């Protein structure tokens, strides 16, 4: 069983898409094993997004993620990381296929509804940050 971290970002929460996001994972046979709604603090977000620290969008991203509630989840299943990322769609909603979460609901690179771990190592690191 593989585990991955998923975050429903503030735009997904504000738009009432938590149920839609979860149902897409569950319909694929994935299981939500833990979840909670939180207000993320700057220190935790800086730790989570450390690989982006030198990128021009970093400060905007951290600030955005502190702008509202987020839902953090551990999603489990066979090939969970790849399946979740396929369900989410490409990071840039312009490139995301219709039928994916981002293809159907996202508007911008920052406000793209969800975050998901991109590797086993990232999933382990990110889950340890949030849980």
* 3, 24, 48, 115: the active-site residue: 115
| Helix ranges (DSSP H) in 6-98 | 10-14, 18-27, 42-48, 58-65, 80-88
Binding region: 9, 57, 85, 91, 102, 112
Distance CA 63, CA 123 (A): 22
Whether residue 115 lies in the annotated active site: yes
Contact 71, 8 (CB under 8 A): yes
Catalytic residues: 115
């Amino acid at each position: 069983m593989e585990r991955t971290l998923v975050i429903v970002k503030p735009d997904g929460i504000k738009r009432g898409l938590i149920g839609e996001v979860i149902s897409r994972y569950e319909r694929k046979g994935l299981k939500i094993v833990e979840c909670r709604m939180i207000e993320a603090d700057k220190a935790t977000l800086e730790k989570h997004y450390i690989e982006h620290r030198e990128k021009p969008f970093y400060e905007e991203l951290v600030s955005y993620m502190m702008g509202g509630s987020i839902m953090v989840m551990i999603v489990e299943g066979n090939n969970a990381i790849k399946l979740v990322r396929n369900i989410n769609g490409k990071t840039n909603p312009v490139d995301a296929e219709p039928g994916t979460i981002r293809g159907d609901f996202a508007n911008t690179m920052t406000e793209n509804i969800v975050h998901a771990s991109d590797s086993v190592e990232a999933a382990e690191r990110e889950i340890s940050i949030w849980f």
